[in-house]
């Protein structure tokens, strides 16, 4: 028997679908995990773009982005999500240089002086039954026609066709949150893949929002059931090579019941270092 969560975010929904066992370790047992270079770099780039968009629209040029980048780098140099990566000086330089190249790539995709943003890093929450759905919207904007647009920056690669729908499911989540909290469904949701320069645009509809609530409710019921039975099965896949919980995963010969003691002992000393 495990405590049933009372809230879900898009990433948690997808995490449960990707591997219930990893979801148990991370979201039910809340075991610590070491930071990953990919996630930290993504957060850094998001911070740069947030700082850039805090500037008046007409001042959002590459020079302003450089100032934002310098501020974000200063913040991250002392952030445990970066310091615990323990990168050698050359690797740290490459890390920051790559983050800057992603910011430059952003400028090749759109002109930020033309964006009428009305919200940055917006935290929204809405109820579905007794479950709270939570999400953070990178950027909410208003078109000249008065329509809402949600933009989500991605620092990884664009998904293949097979995975596109699951990524868009997360995006429809934001659409649902906008509808519930702001009273309007966005006209479009855009995923900007900075590394490849691709933008995937989805047009939410009443059906897609309904599908989202049905899907999320089904996932939550499955989470509830797994909490009651303790049956969180490992699902091997692309995430396994980078999964911090592999030493305790039964699919790799590990003993999940040892994770509660061993994972904090292995990862928390890093955090205290």
Minimum CB–partner distance for residue 16 and ligand SF4 (Å): 11
What does the alpha-carbon distance between residue 160 and residue 253 come to, in Å, rounded to a whole number?
31
Of 155, 173, 245, 263, which lies in the binding site for ligand SF4, with binding defined by CB under 6 A? 245
User: Which one, 146 or 253, has the nearer CB to ligand SF4?
Assistant: 253
266 binds ligand SF4 (CB under 6 A): no
User: Which one, 95 or 245, has the nearer CB to ligand SF4?
Assistant: 245
Q: Where are the beta strands (DSSP E) in the chain?
A: 7-8, 117-128, 131-142, 148-154, 188-193, 198-202
Chain positions 207 to 236 lying near ligand SF4, rule: CB under 6 A, are 234-236
The owner of tokens 């790539």 is: 105
What does the alpha-carbon distance between residue 16 and residue 220 come to, in Å, rounded to a whole number?
9
> Which residues lie closer than 8 Å to 87 by C-beta, 6 or more apart?
37, 95
> Which residues lie closer than 8 Å to 116 by C-beta, 6 or more apart?
57, 141, 142, 143, 144
Minimum CB–partner distance for residue 232 and ligand SF4 (Å): 9
Minimum CB–partner distance for residue 235 and ligand SF4 (Å): 6
11 binds ligand SF4 (CB under 6 A): no
249 binds ligand SF4 (CB under 6 A): yes
For residue 14, CA distances in Å to 17, 84, 155, 165, 166 come to 5, 26, 18, 11, 8
239 binds ligand SF4 (CB under 6 A): yes
251 binds ligand SF4 (CB under 6 A): yes
Minimum CB–partner distance for residue 17 and ligand SF4 (Å): 12
DSSP count for the chain of H helices, then E strands: 9, 6
- Give the x-and-dash track for 14-53 against ligand SF4 (CB under 6 A): -----x-xx-------------------------------
200 binds ligand SF4 (CB under 6 A): no
Q: Tell me the number of residues near ligand SF4 by CB under 6 A.
A: 14
Q: What is the 3-state secondary structure (H, E, C) of 168-226?
A: HHHHHHHHHHHHHHHCCCCCEEEEEECCCCEEEEECCCHHHHHHHHHHHHHHHHHHHHH
Minimum CB–partner distance for residue 234 and ligand SF4 (Å): 4
Binding site for ligand SF4 (CB under 6 A): 19, 21-22, 234-236, 239-240, 243, 245-246, 249, 251-252
């Amino acid at each position: 028997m495990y405590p049933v969560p009372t809230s879900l975010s898009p990433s948690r929904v997808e995490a449960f679908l990707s591997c219930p066992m990893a979801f148990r370790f991370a979201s039910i047992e809340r075991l610590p995990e070491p930071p990953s270079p990919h996630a930290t770099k993504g957060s850094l780039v998001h911070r740069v773009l947030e700082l850039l968009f805090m500037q008046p629209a007409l001042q959002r040029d590459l020079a302003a982005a450089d100032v934002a980048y310098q501020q974000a780098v200063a913040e991250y140099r002392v952030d445990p999500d970066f310091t615990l990566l323990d990168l050698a000086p050359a690797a740290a330089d490459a890390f920051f240089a790559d983050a800057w190249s992603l910011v430059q790539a952003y400028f090749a995709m759109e002109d930020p002086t033309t964006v009428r943003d009305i919200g940055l890093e917006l935290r929204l929450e809405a109820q579905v039954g007794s479950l709270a759905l939570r999400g953070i919207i990178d950027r909410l904007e208003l078109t000249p026609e008065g329509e809402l647009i949600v933009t989500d920056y991605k620092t990884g690669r664009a998904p293949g066709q097979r995975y596109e729908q699951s990524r868009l499911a997360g995006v429809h989540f934001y659409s649902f949150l906008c509808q519930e909290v702001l009273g309007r469904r966005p006209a479009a949701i855009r995923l900007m893949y900075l590394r490849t320069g691709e933008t995937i645009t989805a047009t939410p509809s009443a059906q897609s929002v309904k599908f989202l609530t049905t899907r999320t409710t089904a996932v939550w019921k499955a989470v509830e059931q797994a909490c009651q039975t303790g049956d969180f099965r490992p699902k091997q896949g692309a995430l396994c090579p980078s999964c911090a919980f592999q030493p305790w995963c039964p699919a790799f010969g590990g003993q999940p019941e040892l994770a509660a003691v061993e994972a904090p002992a292995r990862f928390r000393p890093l955090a205290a270092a």
